[in-house]
Amino acid sequence: MCHVGASRVMELFTTTRELVHWRRHCRSPVHFVPTMGALHGAHQRLILRAARPSGDVVASVVVSVFVNPLQFGPGEDFQRYPRELHADAAMADQSGATVLFAPGVEEMFPGGTGQDVFSLRVPDSLSTVLCGRSRPGHFDGVATIVARLLSLVRPDRLFLGEKDWQQLVILRSMVEAMGMPLAVEGCATVRDSDGLAASTRNRYLNPSERERARALPQALAAARSVHANGRFTPDDLVRTTWDVLTAAGLGVDYVELVDPCRLRPQTAPQGPAMLAAAVQCGPARLIDHTFLMTRAPIVAIDGPAGAGKSTVTRALAARLGLIHLDTGAMYRALTWWVQQQGADPADPAAVEPLLKGLDLNLSAADGQDLQIHVNGHNVTAAIRSPEVTAQVSLVAAHPCVREVLTRQQQDMGVRGGLVAEGRDIGTAVYPDADLKVFLTATVAERACRRAKDLEQRGFAVPPLTELEAQIAERDRQDSSRAMAPLQMASDAVEVVTDGMDIGAVIQALVDLFRQRVPEDAWPGPSGS
């Protein structure tokens, strides 16, 4: 056992029996960091992240140390891979681990690791590209051991480094395909002071080899700069990067531009693309990558009225370091203006003249709630009144309104960097959003939320049955209107929020976002 202060004792287990017994009696959430040992700064960052409290909840952190023979090919460095259990235990302990699981090969493979061992097969589309092309069977071995470890640890969250991006994509796919009840969290690549991605195999390099190896991150950074300036074709990026690495005396295994989610080649990238490379430098095989983006990320959150889109969007934007764009507030603000002018909200001929010269402004100072102004009037509170709510669908249905406000929203999205919500934001306004979510809840749940909101704002609260009828009717109007009807985009993810508190909803959306936009590409305000 390893001791840290009086409040925590890190336990060291070497048998599955010990680990299973501990897990059976653990009552806190469990976070898991699998490693092959020889822990360094990147592993430490993973453990610290896993141990970070979430509100009042503190998870138990399990770190595994196991040099897995199944993922080493013939002639690779299985025998000489560093094994430093004492130092690993000290670092895991200092970083906040609850348990260090360090089994031997015989413990994990009692029947040996021969041809008859039960193993997983990773789909060729993921395992035979990038590193898998020159390391056949490697990712099958990774998936097999991680699946075994997950069955023992039974974590709520699995923490993996983005440096091994292909491995992260494969393990996410495995977790989803096997229906494992856990979330996978990727953490940004940690780099040493000279720019090299932190790796156990860096220690194989002598000083002159290490100097040559610096060409790998430098070449990728140069490619990213060229991409940012718009002077490139995908073939140019790959060829130039390859030439720089070769000129530095590195043996190039591959340089490829791929879709980071599916690992397929990208010839004309529209969203985030990953430029990845693997090289041989002396005795060490090194991998690295950079993400290329044509704009900052956009998250589009659709869904019916009363699903909590505004609350969720505001909190998610703050969590990811993006701008909150409340498009629903824009339609509410215009509805308020129509009412103030005494115009008929159902008559497009009466509404259209009010769009000319309309000064509709959304702003938010750091850490402050969104403020909405119409022609100099602060209408932030007024647009949430029952009167506005009752007529906003009528105003929003007019083609002239949709055209003006959609164009304004699209102009806001040219540079990206938005979390935008609305009832057609993913289908009509930002069809190329990096993440589309259809956020919804049952009518009964939305009625309860609406009643609570009215009460908090000081408005009269109708009976729940009346609120349910109003919400159901508004859903019908929104989904049947001729212009931009309420519907879920074909590539959106549906999130039903019944029974979820705001924290759980936000975390679910962050997890979805990070599957598409890595921390290496968009770190967020605190490496979210």
Q: Are 160 and 36 in contact (CB under 8 A)?
A: no
- List, in order, residues 6 or more apart from 7 with CB less than 8 Å away: none
Active site residue 43: yes
What phi-psi label fits residue 24: left (phi over 0), alpha (psi between -120 and 50 degrees) or beta?
alpha
Q: Which two tokens stand for residue 38?
A: 């020889």
Closest C-alpha to 340, from 296, 391, 301, 292: 391
In the DSSP assignment, the letter for residue 15 is: S
Q: Are 337 and 358 in contact (CB under 8 A)?
A: yes
Q: Are 296 and 415 in contact (CB under 8 A)?
A: yes
Strand arrangement, sheet containing 377-378: 360-363, 371-374, 377-378
How far apart CA 23 and CA 463 sit, in angstroms, is: 47
In the DSSP assignment, the letter for residue 398 is: S
How far apart CA 152 and CA 417 sit, in angstroms, is: 40
Q: Which residues pair with 437 in a beta bridge?
A: 301, 493
Pick the catalytic residue from 43, 227, 289, 398. 43
Which amino acid is present at 298?
I
Q: Are 484 and 463 in contact (CB under 8 A)?
A: no
Helices (H), 66-137: 85-95, 105-108, 124-127, 131-134
Q: Are 183 and 157 in contact (CB under 8 A)?
A: yes
Q: Residue 25, Cα to own-chain centre: how many angstroms?
A: 31
Q: Which residues have a catalytic role annotated? A: 43
